[in-house]
Each structure stands twice: as structure tokens, then as C-alpha cells.
Structure 1
Amino acid sequence: MKTEALLFAGVAAFFAVTGTVYGWLSADPAGTSALALAFLMAALVAFFLTVQYRRRGLRPQDRADAEVVDGAGPVEFFPPHSPWPITAAAGFTVLCLGVVFGLWLFLLGLGLLSHGVFGMVFQYANRSESR
């Protein structure tokens, strides 16, 4: 994951430099904010991959002396069923309708979306303790 982290850090640096130069030379707030958001998204992925590399170390794919059998075993835990993606999707739908129809619907959608996202994130939060 070290290679991927460096790749996304390079992408983030590119968007930071491009966004700075673009914002300085043009007076376009839309393009500048789009480049700033692209920088933040690439930096977030680079940060995540760096943290994963520091926690888990090199993967078998990253080592030159690794064999195919070193990567064998379970890939990861995938939940069998979950109501939270549908809850988050319904919340996002209501939130978008709230942009059109009013603040009260937007706030309801924001609450439902938050509930769905937190449910997805923390559904199996203590799964490692029960193994």
C-alpha cells in the first residue's frame, strides 16, 4: 500500500499546485473550489493508505520475494445483509428533495442520512472483540 499512498500523495500535490496557480491567475471561484475538493479527496485517500500501510506493513504483492501462496486465505469480512445502505440511500433522497422543497425536509433527510451512515460504519464495530 506504500506505492498506492505515494501515488495518491502525488495526485494530491498536483491538485494543490494546480489549484493554487489556477486560483491565483483566474478569479473563478467554481474552478478553484473544484480543484480544492479534488486535492482534499486525493489527500484523504493517501492518508488512509498510509495509515493502513503503517498498521499492516507490506502486503505479499509488495514484496519481490513473495510467492502466490503468501496471498492465500480469507480476503476480508463482507457482511451478509444490512439495512443501512437502504437507509442511507433513502436519507440522501430525502435530503436532495429537501434542497428543492424546503429546509424542514432537508433537515429530515440529513438526520436519516446520518443515521444510515453511522449505522453502516458502526454495525460491526466490535466484531473483532467477539472472535
Structure 2
Amino acid sequence: MKAEAMLFGGVAVFFGGAAMFYGFWSHWDPAGTAALVVAFCMGALVSFYCSVQYVRHGARAQDRTDAEVADRVGPLDFFPPHSGWPVVTALGFALAATGVVFGLWLFLIGFGILARGVLGMVFQYVHRGEREG
């Protein structure tokens, strides 16, 4: 993740410099300066996360210049084969967004369905890998 950390670090430095120059030239316009500062913070956060993961897990095959294709052979990760929770989450979001227009009662119903869909996606494979005794 070293390359990703450097990439997002460069993005953060760019937006930080742009925020300083924009703020100075616009006489500290609050909207534009705040947007650029938030962009800087997001780039810095992703760069920090990638740096921590690099320190924690070490260099990957993608980070080494002497790596071969065979160094990264094997399963990448677990990808679920099918799930109904994204449909529930989308329905909840649609109802909550419609509830913003038509009333609080519909928003609350949609928010409840949305919360259940998100929790379903997060915890659907929480027991994956455990052996039944």
C-alpha cells in the first residue's frame, strides 16, 4: 500500500496548497476554502490509512519491483455469492428519500428498512469460518 499512500499523500498536498492559495487570493472565501480543506482532509485520511496498513502488513507483491506474477497467486478475498440485503437497503433508501418529500412518517419507515438492510449486509457472514460443534 506504499504506492497508494504516496498517491493520496500527493493529492492531500495538492489540495492543501490549493486551499491556502485560494483562501489567500479570495480573501478567505468560506465556501471554497472549506471545500478545499475538506478535500485535503479526505486525501490525508486515505493516505494515513494506507500508510498504517503498509506498516502493519508489510510490502505486498505490488509494492516490490522484483516481484513476479506468481507471488500474488491465490485467493484474493471472500466475495459473497448472492445476497438479498442490497435490495432491502436500496428499498429503504428510496423510501427514506421519498419520505423527505412526502412526510416524516414515510422517512421513518424508510430509515428503519434502510438500517435493517445495512445491518443485514454487515452481519450476514459474521459466523463465516466457524465450525459447528
What TM-score bracket applies, with the shorter chain setting the length? 0.7 to 0.9
Distance 1:67 1:5 in 2: 22
What residue number does 1:27 align with?
29
> Deviations along 1:79-106, whole A, 9 cap, x unmatched?
0111121122112211211221223322
Report the CA distance between 1:26 and its aligned residue: 4.5
Q: TM-score, normalised by structure 1?
A: 0.75
Q: TM-score, normalised by structure 2?
A: 0.74
The residue aligned with 2:125 is 124
Give the whole-Å Cα distance in 1 for the aligned partners of 2:104 and 2:20: 34
Q: Aligned residue for 1:7? A: 7
Higher Rg of the two aligned structures: 2
Unaligned segments of structure 2, at least 5 residues:
none
> Could you tell me which amino acid in structure 2 is paired with residue 108 of structure 1?
I
- Give the share of equivalent positions with the same residue, in percent: 57
SS at match of 2:80: coil
**How does 1:47-126 map onto structure 2 within 5 Å?**
47-126=48-127
Code of the aligned partner of 1:100: V
Q: How many matched pairs?
A: 129
